[in-house]
Structure 1
Amino acid sequence: MLTADIRNRWLQFFGDRGHTVVPSASLVSDDPSLLFVVAGMVPFIPYLSGLVPAPYPRATSVQKVIRTNDIEEVGKTPRHGTFFQMNGNFSFGDYFKEQAISYAWELLTTSEADGGLGFDPEDLWVTVYKDDDEAIALWKKIAGLPDERIQRLDKDTNYWHTGQPGPAGPCSEIFFDRGPAYGIDGGPATDDDRYVEIWNLVFMQYQIENVRSKVDFDIVRELPHKNIDTGMGLERVAFLKQGVDNMYEIDQVRPVLDRASELSGRRYGADHEDDIRMRIIADHVRSALMLMSDGVTPSNEGRGYILRRLMRRTIRSMRLLGVEGATFPELFAASRDAMKAAYPEVETDYDRISRLAFAEEETFLRTLSAGTSILDEAVAATKSAQEPQLKGDTAFLLHDTFGFPIDLTLEIAEEAGLSVDRSAFDSLMAEQRSRAKADAKSRKVALADLSVYSAFRAAGETVFTGYDYLDTDSTILGIIVDGQSVDKAVAGDIAEVILRETSLYAESGGQEADAGSIVGNGFDLEVLDVQKPVKGLISHRVQVRSGEVGVGQAATSVVDPVYRRGATQAHSATHLIHAALRQVLGPEAHQAGSYNKAGYMRLDFNWSNPLSPDTRSEIEDIANQKIRDDLQVTTRILPLDEARAAGAMALFGEKYGDEVRMVDIGGPWSRELCAGTHVSTSSQIGLINLVGESSIGSTNRRVESLVGVDAFRDFAAERAIVGQLTSSLKAPREQLPERIAALAADLKAAEKRIAEFEAAALATRVPSLVEKASTLGALTVVIESVGQVKSSDELRSLAMNVRERLGASSASVVALAADVSGKPAVIVATTPGARDTGVKAGALARTAAGILGGGGGGKDDLAQGGGSDLSAIPAALSAIGDALRG
Structure 2
Amino acid sequence: MQTAEIRRRWLDFFEQRGHTVVPSASLVSDDPSLMFTVAGMVPFVPYLSGLVPAPYPRATSVQKCIRTNDIEEVGKTPRHGTFFQMCGNFSFGDYFKEDAIRFAWELLTSSEADGGLGFDPEDLWVTVYEDDDEALALWKQHSTLPDERIQRLGKDTNYWSTGQPGPAGPCSEIFYDLGPEHGIDGGPATDDDRYVEIWNLVFMQYQITDVRSKTDFTIVGELPNKNIDTGMGLERVAFIKQGVQNMYEIDQVRPVLDRAAELAGKRYGANHEDDVRLRVIADHVRSGLMLIADGVTPSNEGRGYILRRLLRRVIRSMRLLGVEGATFPELFPVSRDAMSAAYPQVASDFDFISRAAYAEEKTFLRTLASGSQILDTAVDAAKQAGAEVPGDTAFLLHDTYGFPIELTLEIAEEAGVDVDRGVFATLMQEQRDRAKADAKAKKGQRADLSVYKELRGLGETAFVGYDELVHESRVLGIVVDGAPAPEAREGQIAEIVLAETSLWAESGGQDSDQGLIVGDGFEAEVLDVQKPVPGLIVHTVKVTVGTVALDARAETRVDADYRRGATQAHSGTHIVHAALREVLGPNAHQAGSYNKAGYLRLDFTHSDALSAETKSEIEEISNLAIRSDYEVVTREMPLEEAKALGAMALFGEKYGDRVRVVDIGGPWSRELCAGTHVSSSAEVGMISLVSESSVGSTNRRVESLVGIEAFRNFAAERTIVQQLTSGLKVPRAELVTKVQDLGAQLRAAEKKIAALEAEKLTQRVPELLAGAEELNGVRAVLGSLGAVGSADEVRALALQLRERLGSDPGVVVLAGESAGKPLVIAATTAAARDRGVRAGDLAKLGAGVLGGGGGGKPDLAQGGGSDVAKIGDALAEIRRSLAG
TM (norm. structure 1) is 0.84
Give the Å deviation of 1:77.
2.2
The answer to whether the 8 Å contact 2:19/2:58 transfers is yes
The answer to whether the 8 Å contact 1:332/1:354 transfers is yes
**Alignment-derived partner of residue 547 in structure 2:** 548
Give the Å deviation of 1:236.
1.3
**Alignment-derived partner of residue 582 in structure 1:** 581
SS of the equivalent of 2:546 reads strand
**Residues 397-445 of structure 1: CA deviation (Å, up to 9, x unaligned):** 587454267678766886xxx6313xx5566688899999999xxx9x9
**Alignment-derived partner of residue 783 in structure 1:** none
Give the Å deviation of 1:694.
1.3
The answer to whether the 8 Å contact 1:396/1:428 transfers is no
Q: Distance in 2 between matches of 1:272 and 1:380?
A: 27
Which has the larger displacement, 163-172 or 188-197?
163-172
Change (3 A) 1:207 1:311: farther
**Residues 246-286 of structure 1: CA deviation (Å, up to 9, x unaligned):** 22111111111111121112111222222222222111111
Which has the larger displacement, 450-459 or 50-59?
450-459
Which has the larger displacement, 132-141 or 236-245?
236-245
SS of the equivalent of 2:251 reads coil
Q: Distance in 1 between matches of 2:6 and 2:666?
A: 43
Change (3 A) 1:868 1:223: closer
**Residues 98-131 of structure 1: CA deviation (Å, up to 9, x unaligned):** 1111111111111111111111122211001111
Q: Distance in 1 between matches of 2:712 and 2:540?
A: 32
Give the Å deviation of 1:380.
4.6
- 1:132 and 2:132 aligned: yes
The answer to whether the 8 Å contact 1:633/1:682 transfers is yes
Change (3 A) 1:146 1:437: farther
**Alignment-derived partner of residue 681 in structure 1:** 680
Give the Å deviation of 1:70.
2.0
- 1:403 and 2:400 aligned: no
The answer to whether the 8 Å contact 1:371/1:398 transfers is no
Task: Give the letter for the 2:103 counterpart.
Answer: Y
Give the Å deviation of 1:154.
1.5
Give the Å deviation of 1:642.
1.5
Change (3 A) 1:807 1:629: closer
**Alignment-derived partner of residue 252 in structure 1:** 252
SS of the equivalent of 1:36 reads coil
Change (3 A) 1:683 1:224: farther
Which has the larger displacement, 376-385 or 313-322?
376-385
The answer to whether the 8 Å contact 1:796/1:827 transfers is yes
Q: Distance in 1 between matches of 2:470 and 2:308?
A: 47
**Alignment-derived partner of residue 812 in structure 1:** none
- 1:167 and 2:164 aligned: no
Q: Distance in 1 between matches of 2:634 and 2:67?
A: 38
**Alignment-derived partner of residue 342 in structure 1:** 342
1:189-200 to 2 correspondence within 5 Å? 189-200=189-200
Give the Å deviation of 1:596.
0.9
Q: Distance in 1 between matches of 2:222 and 2:517?
A: 36
- 1:114 and 2:114 aligned: yes
**Alignment-derived partner of residue 519 in structure 1:** 518
SS of the equivalent of 1:196 reads strand
Gaps of 5+ in 1: 777-786, 809-815, 830-844, 874-886
Q: Distance in 2 between matches of 1:476 and 1:346?
A: 46
Which has the larger displacement, 683-692 or 298-307?
298-307
**Residues 447-500 of structure 1: CA deviation (Å, up to 9, x unaligned):** 773222121111110000001110111111111111221211211111111100
**Alignment-derived partner of residue 391 in structure 1:** 389
**Residues 483-538 of structure 1: CA deviation (Å, up to 9, x unaligned):** 22121121111111110000000011111110001111111111111111110010
SS of the equivalent of 1:528 reads strand
- 1:281 and 2:281 aligned: yes
Change (3 A) 1:224 1:652: farther
Among candidates 379, 404, 419, match of residue 416 of structure 2: 419
Task: Give the letter for the 2:416 counterpart.
Answer: S
Change (3 A) 1:432 1:289: farther
Which has the larger displacement, 818-827 or 355-364?
818-827
SS of the equivalent of 1:33 reads coil
Q: Distance in 2 between matches of 1:519 and 1:125?
A: 63
- 1:465 and 2:456 aligned: no
SS of the equivalent of 1:134 reads helix
Q: Distance in 2 between matches of 1:866 and 1:452?
A: 49
SS of the equivalent of 1:290 reads helix
Q: Distance in 2 between matches of 1:328 and 1:438?
A: 36
Give the Å deviation of 1:735.
1.5
**Residues 590-618 of structure 1: CA deviation (Å, up to 9, x unaligned):** 22211111111111122222111111111
Which has the larger displacement, 696-705 or 465-474?
696-705
Task: Give the letter for the 1:489 counterpart.
Answer: A
**Alignment-derived partner of residue 96 in structure 1:** 96
Change (3 A) 1:273 1:628: same
Give the Å deviation of 1:206.
3.2
Change (3 A) 1:759 1:505: closer
Task: Give the letter for the 1:722 counterpart.
Answer: V
Give the Å deviation of 1:73.
2.0
Change (3 A) 1:175 1:636: same
- 1:664 and 2:685 aligned: no
The answer to whether the 8 Å contact 1:235/1:250 transfers is yes
SS of the equivalent of 2:652 reads coil
1:727-738 to 2 correspondence within 5 Å? 727-738=726-737
Q: Distance in 2 between matches of 1:321 and 1:670?
A: 48
Query: How many percent of aligned residue pairs carry the same amino acid?
Result: 68
**Alignment-derived partner of residue 9 in structure 2:** 9
Give the Å deviation of 1:762.
12
**Alignment-derived partner of residue 573 in structure 1:** 572
Task: Give the letter for the 1:528 counterpart.
Answer: L
**Alignment-derived partner of residue 479 in structure 1:** 478
SS of the equivalent of 1:728 reads helix
Q: Distance in 1 between matches of 2:261 and 2:23?
A: 34
**Residues 120-172 of structure 1: CA deviation (Å, up to 9, x unaligned):** 12221100111111100110111142220111112221122345555332110
SS of the equivalent of 1:355 reads helix
SS of the equivalent of 1:269 reads coil
Change (3 A) 1:145 1:525: same
Q: Distance in 2 between matches of 1:825 and 1:395?
A: 18
1:684-703 to 2 correspondence within 5 Å? 684-703=683-702
**Residues 270-323 of structure 1: CA deviation (Å, up to 9, x unaligned):** 222222222221111111101110001111221111111111221222222222
1:20-31 to 2 correspondence within 5 Å? 20-31=20-31
Q: Distance in 1 between matches of 2:228 and 2:179?
A: 31
Which has the larger displacement, 356-365 or 859-868?
859-868
SS of the equivalent of 1:420 reads coil
Q: Distance in 2 between matches of 1:425 and 1:864?
A: 18
TM (norm. structure 2) is 0.84
1:863-882 to 2 correspondence within 5 Å? none
**Residues 22-49 of structure 1: CA deviation (Å, up to 9, x unaligned):** 1111111000101111111111111111
**Alignment-derived partner of residue 503 in structure 1:** 502
Which has the larger displacement, 633-642 or 684-693?
633-642
The answer to whether the 8 Å contact 2:378/2:393 transfers is no
**Alignment-derived partner of residue 237 in structure 1:** 237
Give the Å deviation of 1:193.
2.1
- 1:641 and 2:640 aligned: yes
Task: Give the letter for the 2:102 counterpart.
Answer: S
Q: Distance in 2 between matches of 1:868 and 1:94?
A: 69
Give the Å deviation of 1:650.
1.6
Change (3 A) 1:156 1:862: closer
Aligned length: 841
SS of the equivalent of 2:714 reads helix
Q: Distance in 2 between matches of 1:230 and 1:474?
A: 41
- Give 1 or 2 for the bigger CA radius of gyration: 1
SS of the equivalent of 2:338 reads helix
SS of the equivalent of 1:69 reads coil
SS of the equivalent of 1:88 reads strand
- 1:377 and 2:377 aligned: yes
Gaps of 5+ in 2: 774-784, 807-813, 828-842, 873-884
Q: Distance in 2 between matches of 1:5 and 1:120?
A: 19
The answer to whether the 8 Å contact 1:89/1:229 transfers is yes
The answer to whether the 8 Å contact 2:392/2:853 transfers is no
**Alignment-derived partner of residue 838 in structure 1:** none
**Alignment-derived partner of residue 364 in structure 1:** 364
